[in-house]
Structure 1
Amino acid sequence: MGIVDDLARAREAFERRDWATAYDQLSATGDGLGPDDLQTLATSAYLVGDDDACIRALQRGYRLQVDAGDTLGAVRFAFWLAMVLNVRGEVAIGSGWAARAERLLADQPADVVERGYLRIHEFFRHLAQGEYAEALRTGTEITEAARRFGDADLLAQGLTCQGRLLMYSNRVPEGLAMLDEAMVGVAAGEVSPIFAGQVYCAMIEGCQEVSDFSRASAWTTALTRWCDSQPDLVPFTGQCAVHRGQILRLHGAFGAALEEFDDACRRYAESGKQAAAGLALSECGDVQRIRGDFALAETAYDQASSFGYDPQPGRALLLLARGRATAAIAVIRRLLAEVGGPVQRSRLLPGAVEVLVAGASLDEAEQTATELTGIAESFGCSGLRAMAAYCAGVVALAADDPERSLSQARLATQLWSGLQAPYEVARAKVLVGRSLRQLDDEDSAVEELTAALRTFTELGAVPARQEAEKLLNRGTPGGLTGRELEVLRLVAAGNSNTEIARRLVLSDKTVARHLTNIFAKLDVPSRTAAVAYAHDHDLL
């Protein structure tokens, strides 16, 4: 009677998601567990982070089913063994269990739900080999099998597989709709915990990949609640911390974001999955770079690389911030040649535009910005549209088209404001200010730049704050902008307006406007007087 009571308590604990109690109670019963209770023990062990105990329970369940002649039951245990082993990096052994399950199914009916589950392993094999068409077909077969058998776990997994592959096939709106449908079952509590955690993380990761920050934020909040409702939960908590950090970074809470990334790395280390920390470390490096802690950023990027995660374009942007524009351009050109697929490129292109413009590679920058705009229109995600508008504005300003730059910068400001992204809003305001200055609306330019400076100061974004201060001419003799100083120095060297325009890649009209501004700011009547002022005040 004691064992019966223990099993009843263990099952009740499992139903209320008290994984530790279920695990302890079932572990204490010895070798008398049947297949169903062994599956419960394996699941509980996995959810409290004891993968070894999970695998032992699954192996026992597999052997019981084989001995009982329950082939389909044995297939189910083999499926879970393959999944758990693959997730923890033992792919060869996991593949062996998947192959055994396929062999066991050879003499079984053609249409059984277990075949749908084994398609999951087939899907990930295709995905690992870059066989996207085959992976999409397999994902569709998983979903079809799930609908035939009314299996909520299989349906959530199949829709997730389909959704991600549709996104990688440049059908992002369709893919996101599939992911939303998968999340319906998860949010309704219809999906078992391991599948639910996997679908949560896949959904949020997909949203981050295409810069759909609104969806990512909503589902990150839901994932946090889901994790918090299970105090003993170990898997998925590292991913949850990373996603919380990403949303906090978007909202300008840089210190809190760094704490979440550190927490994610700690959780990965404790669970023995430290290699998964690469993304968290790369995100940490991005925040440190924005804050101006370049040494810490480089360390974080190096650590991310050591775990097999390439922290780009953040590392290239760090090179640029340190004044190594030539090296940054070389990295970006290599990445643009290597990275394929619109989803992957959408993550690279905004940083690439910034680097190329800084390196005066305007033709390449314009091509890259145009590509980004096309991808953003195709995806329809507001975050990516904001990035594309900002990049288009940066390129337009560099090409001496302040009217277009201003319209794009204002669009970027509007979109980032809707996403409550203060750092990005301030960057867009800087672009607005620079565009207004080119259009001779100095009062409005100063207003925009001052607002941006205030935000950068509040956020602790040191490099951006210093740029804004420079644009506001704090400490600059005569109140000249950086471009105006360049023009004045070329005038002092004896260059004509046409020669200055050629050297700075500007139009003659823009050079003339810069000279008019210089004369007004220095209160001088001519080129000769301006050069004399420059000599007297050591501007040359």
Structure 2
Amino acid sequence: MRVDQLDRGRRAYARREWGEAYASIAAAGAEAALPPEDLFRLATSAMLLGRDGEADDLLAASYRGFLGDARPDRASRCAFWAGMSLLNRGQAARGAGWLSLAQRLVDAGAGEVERAYLAVATARQAMLAGSDAAAGSGDADRAGELAAAALETGERAGDRDLTALARLTLGAWDVMRGRSARGLATLDEVMVDVTTGGVSAVPAGIVYCAVIELCTASMDLPRAREWTTALTRWCDAQPDLVLFRGECLVNRARLMRLRGSWDDALAEAGRAVTRLSDPPGQRGAGEAWYELGEVLRLRGDLEEAEAAYRSADVHGYEPQPGLSLLRLAQGRTTDAAAAVRRVRAEAGPHAAVPLLAAAAEILLADGDLDGAARAAAELAAVRGGTGGMLTALADRAAGEVLLAQGRARAALEPLRRSWAAWVRLDVPYEVARARLLLARAGCAVGDEDGARLELESACQAFERLGAGPDLAVARADLGRLAPGVPRVVGLTDREVEVLRLVATGRTNRAIAAELFLSEKTVARHLSNIFDKLDLPSRAAATAYAYEHGLVRA
């Protein structure tokens, strides 16, 4: 009976039927001690089923079994995977301990391939330490060299798992060093290897998730879409799979949101939260909560979005820039600006692109034109000569700043480029936002007919998406284009509102209360009005407003 169960488990393992493999091998092990190779199979099955604690114990048992059989190479491999699993779950001390055991075996002569596996781990740890720390440490400076040497060893030994991990590390290192084109090309190579089925399940899952994460960080939406589709197929082919499935759901939810399928994105993000919350402590739970918050915020479900962002924070995921954008939507502009300034300061010169884009938008709303211009300039510097999402965000920020500076005609060119990029990428929400900005620029240069067409298209898109807050803004802009409603060339819509209220005799405090702004923000808007219209005082601004029909006597 035991032999039948063990054979059944081994066959299920080969077919990647993890539930059956685990049950059969475990049943065989209940009758008599398992060989270390079968303990390793049982440990891998437990890991893929999300049974992390059991997997840790089984890898330790397999490690001891291989040592007892005088197989230091296989014992080293067990120690490597035990260490990597623990590191991925945030247990740095235990993970480092296992890798030290593996290193000891390698130093005692465990083998060249095992040494290459550890070289991959060393390079990975250096990169995770951050680019600033990595640049100053010996191993980190050699991360690319270590990965390249491991890749050569893996190819020479015909070890496809090692080859995949080394190539992944090499590509990731190039991306982190600013060589995105070369790095992404390397990642494409490793994905071809993984998708053809020649890589074991655990390293394959690591590669899938890491490549998609790197494509997302590089703002390469087409690649992220393509590889997320491949990851979905891979997960679906293994119905018992728990490990990696949660991350797959998060990636799918993000792409659904960008594609404009917000109901589907909300459902997928909810499934990701459920999957990654039980058992607790899973890597990716915070990101799942954050993605849920993003969809809720865009739909205008602000209280629910705040709860989701708070849950992301509880699970160790920085809820920015989403939380700052939520504060902006709530009318808490000063809080939004303070938060985004803090996060940018902490990020230093390596602020993420989404944070820089949000900072430009939020600081403009707060009246900090200089701060917004700096964020836009950083975005332009990051963009370099690349295209795609990064270019679209950088051009939008540049156009927003030019528009706020009263240079509407100059703003039209980057705003049109941004619109065209979002159209190519098929991101309908951002297409509609670009139309809204194009309408404001067009109106500022006197093209009210063109502005009306842009706003009508934006309203239709926001309504289809269910973007309630943005729809209200677009409709308000459209209402201001009605015949007889005066406008002032060079001023933003918010500045016109402030000017009108100044002309009615309201104080900065009263204006702030009426427009849900801080007094500091009102003062900044008023300073911008004085500069743009060359006015010396509130009295002169009041006279200007009456002369131009903004208020009636």
TM-score where L is the length of structure 2? 0.86
Q: Distance in 2 between matches of 1:128 and 1:208?
A: 17
Q: Does residue 1:463 correspond to 2:469, yes or no?
A: yes
Which stretch shifts more, 418-427 or 310-319?
A: 310-319
CA contact (8 A) 2:154 2:160 kept: yes
The alpha carbon displacement at 1:275 in A equals 5.7
Aligned Cα RMSD in Å? 2.7
Question: What is the 5 A alignment of 1:84-233?
Answer: 84-108=85-109, 112-130=112-130, 131-133=133-135, 134-135=139-140, 136-137=143-144, 138-233=146-241
Cα separation, partners in 2 of 1:149 and 1:381, compared to 1, 3 Å:
farther
Q: 1:321-377: per-residue Cα shift (whole Å, max 9, x none)?
A: 2222222222222222221354x4323110000011112221221222122012122
**For residue 58 of structure 1, what is the amino acid of its counterpart?**
L
Tell me the distance in 2 between the aligned counterparts of 1:503 and 1:55.
64
1:75 aligned residue: 76
Contact 2:448 2:481 (8 Å CA) reproduced: no
Distance 2:225 2:84 in 1: 28
The residue number in structure 2 matching 1:351 is: 358
Distance in 2 between residues matched to 1:244 and 1:150, nearest whole Å:
33
CA apart distance, 1:107: 2.3
SS in 2 for 1:468: helix
Shift of 1:148: 3.0
Query: Residues 413-492 of structure 1 correspond to what in structure 2 (within 5 A)?
Result: 413-473=419-479, 478-480=484-486, 482=493
Name which of structure 1's ranges 280-289 and 87-96 shifts more when overlaid on structure 2: 87-96
**For this pair of structures, how many residues does the alignment match?**
511
Q: Report the Cα distance in structure 1 between the residues aligned to 2:314 and 2:548, rounded to whole angstroms.
A: 58
Q: Which residue of 1 aligns with 2:409?
A: 403
CA 409–79 in structure 1, closer or farther in 2 if over 3 Å, else same: same
Return the alpha-carbon distance in structure 1 between the equivalents of residues 370 and 547 of structure 2: 35
1:252 shift after superposition: 1.3
Q: Which moved more, 1:312-321 or 1:464-473?
A: 312-321
The alpha-carbon distance between structure 1 residues 87 and 527, as it changes in their structure 2 partners (threshold 3 A), is: closer
SS at match of 1:339: helix
Stretches of structure 1 that go unaligned for 5 or more consecutive residues are: 494-499, 510-514, 520-525, 536-540
User: Which residue type is aligned with residue 461 of structure 2?
Assistant: T
**1:243 to 2:244 alignment:** no
**Residues in 1 aligned to 2:128 and 2:548: alpha-carbon distance in whole angstroms:** 68
In the alignment, the residues of structure 2 paired with residue 237 and residue 486 of structure 1 have an alpha-carbon distance, to the nearest angstrom, of 50
Q: Partner of 1:264 in structure 2? A: 272
Contiguous gaps of at least 5 residues in structure 2: 488-492, 506-525, 536-540
Within 2, Cα distance between the matches of 1:181 and 1:528?
A: 67
Query: Hey, what's the Cα distance between the residues in 1 that align with 2:485 and 2:43?
Result: 70
Residue by residue, what CA displacement relative to the aligned partner does 1:437-469 show, whole Å, maximum 9, x if unpaired? 011111110000010011111111111111101
Alpha-carbon distance, 1:89 to partner: 3.6
Q: Are 2:402 and 2:410, in contact at CA under 8 Å, matched by a contact in 1?
A: yes
Find the aligned partners of 1:33 and 1:175 in 2 and give their Cα distance.
42
SS in structure 2 opposite 1:534? coil
Change (3 A) 1:504 1:164: farther
For residues 11-66 of structure 1, the C-alpha deviation after alignment (integer angstroms, 9 at most, x for no partner) is 22122211111111111112343232222222112112222332333222222221
Matches of 1:529 and 1:417, distance apart in 2? 38
Q: Which residue of 1 aligns with 2:65?
A: 64
Structure 2 partner of 1:12: 11
Aligned to 2:374: 367
Measure, in 1, the Cα distance between the counterparts of 2:472 and 2:279.
41
Equivalent position SS for 1:190 = coil
3-state SS of paired residue (2:384): helix
Contact 2:3–2:28 (CA under 8 A) maintained in structure 1: no
User: What's the secondary structure of 1:108's corresponding residue?
Assistant: coil
- Mapped to 2, the partners of 1:165 and 1:377 lie a distance apart of 19
In structure 1, what is the Cα distance between the partners aligned to 2:2 and 2:503? 94
Could you tell me how far 1:158 is from its partner in structure 2? 1.3
Distance 1:107 1:248, change over 3 A: same
Deviation sequence 1:413-442 (CA, Å, 0-9, x none): 111111111100000000111111011111
Which shifted more, 468-477 or 230-239? 468-477
**2-structure distance, mates of 1:459, 1:527:** 40
Query: Shift in Å at residue 86 of structure 1?
Result: 2.8
Q: What SS does the corresponding residue of 1:28 show, helix, strand or coil?
A: helix
Contact 1:356 1:364 in 2 (8 A): yes
Shift in Å, 1:96: 1.6
Secondary structure of 1:433 counterpart? helix
- Counterpart contact for 1:234–1:271, Cα < 8 Å: no
Residues of 1 paired with 2:255 and 2:473: CA distance? 25
Task: Report the CA distance shift for 1:492/1:63 in structure 2 as closer, same or farther (over 3 A).
Answer: closer
Would the alpha carbon gap of residues 486 and 33 (structure 1) be closer, same or farther in structure 2, given more than 3 Å must change? closer
Question: Residue 484 of structure 1: CA displacement?
Answer: 5.0
Alpha-carbon deviation of 1:486?
5.1
CA distance in 1, matches of 2:66, 2:90: 26
Q: Distance in 2 between matches of 1:505 and 1:461?
A: 34
Alpha-carbon distance in structure 2 between the residues aligned to 1:5 and 1:501: 83
Which segment is superposed worse, 159-168 or 243-252? 159-168
Read off the aligned partner of 1:370 and give its amino acid letter.
A
* 1:123/1:139 contact within 8 Å kept: yes
Alignment partner, residue 496 of structure 1: none
